[in-house]
């Protein structure tokens, strides 16, 4: 009888711990501090990718993807509408989550370096070149927006995602 009671109490303790963990996770409303909501409607999602050449005389390229299935490609001063399916948008969102997009700093086009001062302290310099080529990727949903801008040195995986989206958008807009 004593063993049965211990087993029951141990099971109750494990269940209670798991239940409390589930309840505490359920009360979280976003993916970490400053992250997107944990639950949202796909038709409220917008993903925007913008490439600046660095030369003001050249037009920007932009892809805007909507969770409603509509999309726009802007290139060479021309706007082209095309359809972008839920499955493709969900794959893009999964790629962003996989590289921890929402944890990335918003700016990657500032280069930092350190130098030694005469008094032995280390100083930090920031070099930002606003006229250099850059890419911005923005995710927006339900009053939340996260943008990451980068130049030549992109965060791991982000440039691959941008290239894929621009390639897919070019193909889909041409097929229309």
Q: Are residues 26 and 59 in the same domain?
A: no
Q: Are residues 63 and 9 in the same domain?
A: no
Tell me: the pLDDT tens digits for 22-80?
444 445 565 667 789 999 999 999 999 999 988 888 889 999 999 999 999 999 889 99
Mean pLDDT of the chain: 85
pLDDT over threshold 70, residue 103: yes
Tell me: the pLDDT tens digits for 159-170?
999 999 999 999
CA-CA distance, 173 to 176, in Å (whole number)?
5
Q: CB atoms < 10 A from the CB of 59, how many?
A: 15
Residue 102 belongs to a domain with what CATH number?
A: 3.30.1560
pTM value is 0.75
Please count the structural domains in the chain: 2
Q: Are residues 18 and 78 in the same domain?
A: no
Segment 5-14 shows an average pLDDT of 52
Q: Are residues 78 and 24 in the same domain?
A: no
Dihedral (Cα; 80, 175, 169, 50), 10-degree rounding: -20
- Domain extent at residue 141: 35-175
């Amino acid at each position: 009888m004593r063993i049965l009671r211990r087993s029951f109490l141990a099971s109750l303790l494990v269940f209670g711990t798991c239940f409390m963990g589930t309840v505490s996770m359920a009360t979280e409303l976003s993916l970490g501090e400053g992250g997107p909501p944990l639950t949202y409607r796909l038709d409220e999602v917008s993903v925007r990718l913008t490439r600046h050449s660095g030369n003001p005389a050249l037009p920007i390229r932009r892809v805007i993807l909507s969770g409603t299935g509509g999309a726009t490609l802007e290139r060479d001063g021309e706007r082209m509408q095309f359809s972008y399916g839920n499955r493709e948008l969900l794959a893009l969102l999964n790629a962003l989550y996989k590289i921890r997009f929402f944890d990335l700093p918003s700016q990657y086009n500032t280069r930092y370096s350190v130098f030694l001062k005469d008094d032995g302290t280390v100083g930090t310099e920031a070099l930002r070149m606003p006229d250099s080529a850059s890419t911005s990727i923005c995710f927006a949903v339900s009053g939340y927006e996260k943008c990451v801008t980068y130049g030549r040195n992109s965060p791991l995986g982000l440039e691959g995602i941008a290239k894929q989206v621009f390639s897919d958008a070019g193909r889909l807009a041409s097929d229309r």
